[in-house]
Amino acid sequence: MSEPFKIKSDPELWEKLGMDVSRFSGMPPMLTTAYTNIFLSQKNRPSEMAYFDNMIENIHTGRIHEIMAVKETGKPVIGTFCVYVPEELIVAAGGICVGLCGGAQGSIADAEKILPRNICPMVKSAFGFKIGKICPYFQAVDLVYGETTCDAKKKTWELLDRYVPTHVMEIPQMKRERDKKLWVEEVKDFKAAVDKISGTETEFDDIAGAIKTINAKRAALQRLNNLRHFNPSPISGRDMLLIEQIAFYDEPVRFTEKVHALCNELDKRIKDGVAVAPASTPRILVSGTPMALPNWKLHNIIESSGAIVVNEESCIGTRYYKDLIDEGSTSVDQQLERLTERYMKIDCSCFTPNDERIDQVIKEYEESGAQGIIDYCLQFCHTYNIEAVKLREACEQRGIPFMAIESDYSPDDVGQLQTRVEAFIEQIQG
């Protein structure tokens, strides 16, 4: 008989990382309860989800030990907040790229001692994790690489630099040829910063190998997302969201292998007619702002209300893995240019104009077999909030059921959101 699920603790490790151990020690039990209720309570989950459950069990312990082992060899451990920071160049240097976006309410009070209250909860959550010393990943990184995708972020990086070395990559706000030239120069600066930390210059073969590794990871996620589009779906939206979140923490080669193992199981489930919900279940596409670990609120509400999430048009979703890098370069400069071209295809709402994103949402809606779109926006995320106006208009023109939701990480609005989501599902069902 297997032992019950329990997120593991390692106070000795946390002490070495300089964490607030007494405070953080309450996190694993709380997360264990939430994970058990949201994920392990699901019926008929694929057996290959056991690996991803294990990743969460060891998220504050085993994975941290792996990261520290790499760090002790002199390789860089770099924290990022955005899918625009090219992880290929970190992997090329033999380092580890770790997503640091905050997705929890517990650290926001720490941040609000310094930051304004009326800014993005993701920014506050992440900043609070560092200053409160309650995130082992934040404590393990050598460098944080920020970007300029929103005003709250780019000003917070100035303050974060007081606590951990923080380098900022300028992301242009348009996608013209002159903007591409600026972006390529920023990527070159990023490579130089990574090389400086690692103490060696990454060369053509290093970058080529890293591009193949990350392309393979993204291709595996593409395969998984295509399989979940089958109706009836062989995997829940909650489990897919979890895998997309783990993609930012796990070792990429191992992660790719495990995603393909899951895909092989889903292939068989589809052939055998095994699904997590009947074919008549209303199908929802979620678009909008990222849902950083452990932000599972909206997916849990949707799927507890009798629908299933079949696609995430999000940075923790298709924006992260829909595009691959051309592997046919013949020089380092060409590699960096093609890498930049791939990252410029990501349709963040920071860009203007950004009609490509509206087209992409509709495309993914059609490909996923969704029957309605819920656009999710974190409070005070002005660019996504405003862009929802154009997305709503596009949906109205095509007769696509659409609902916009604005929320934060607090559980206070769960009841209200549940009522709205249930009404939206009834609307889809007619």
Q: Does position 265 have pLDDT exceeding 60, yes or no?
A: yes
Does 3 or 338 have the greater pLDDT score? 338
The answer to whether residues 394 and 404 touch, using CB atoms and an 8 Å cutoff, is: no
Q: Does position 292 have pLDDT exceeding 90, yes or no?
A: yes
The answer to whether residues 201 and 195 touch, using CB atoms and an 8 Å cutoff, is: yes
Q: Where are the domains of the chain?
A: 11-429
Q: What is the CA radius of gyration of the chain?
A: 21
Per-residue pLDDT tens digits for 23-48: 999 999 999 999 999 999 999 999 99
- What pLDDT is recorded for position 6? 97
Q: Does position 1 have pLDDT exceeding 60, yes or no?
A: no
Residues in Cβ contact with 65 at an 8 Å cutoff, skipping those fewer than 6 apart:
10, 13
| pLDDT-based confidence at residue 101 (cuts at 50, 70, 90) | confident
* CB-count burial class (<10 Å; 0-12, 13-18, 19+) for 39: buried
Q: Taking the model in full, what pTM does it have?
A: 0.97
Distance CA 56, CA 51 (A): 9
| pLDDT-based confidence at residue 11 (cuts at 50, 70, 90) | very high
Q: Which amino acid is at 21?
A: V
Tell me the DSSP string of 319-374: HHHS--------SHHHHHHHHHHHHTT---TTSSS-HHHHHHHHHHHHHHT-SEEE
Mean pLDDT for all residues in the chain? 97
Per-residue pLDDT tens digits for 358-398: 999 999 999 999 999 999 999 999 999 999 999 999 999 99
- What pLDDT is recorded for position 430? 83
Is the N-terminal amide bond of 232 cis, ω within 30° of 0?
Answer: yes
Per-residue pLDDT tens digits for 184-225: 999 999 999 999 999 999 999 999 999 999 999 999 999 999
- The neighbour count for residue 356, using CB atoms within 10 Å, is 13
Q: Does position 104 have pLDDT exceeding 60, yes or no?
A: yes
User: Cα 308 from chain centroid?
Assistant: 19
Per-residue pLDDT tens digits for 109-118: 999 999 999 9
Six-digit token pair at 168? 């900022």
- What pLDDT is recorded for position 22? 97
Mean pLDDT of 400-426: 97
Would strands 372-378 and 283-288 be described as parallel, antiparallel, or unpaired? parallel
Distance CA 195, CA 200 (A): 5
User: Cα 182 from chain centroid?
Assistant: 26
Residue reference for tokens 């950004």 = 354
- What pLDDT is recorded for position 169? 95
Q: Does position 81 have pLDDT exceeding 80, yes or no?
A: yes
Per-residue pLDDT tens digits for 243-255: 999 999 999 999 9
- What pLDDT is recorded for position 209? 98
Distance CA 267, CA 320 (A): 23
Per-residue pLDDT tens digits for 139-150: 999 999 999 999
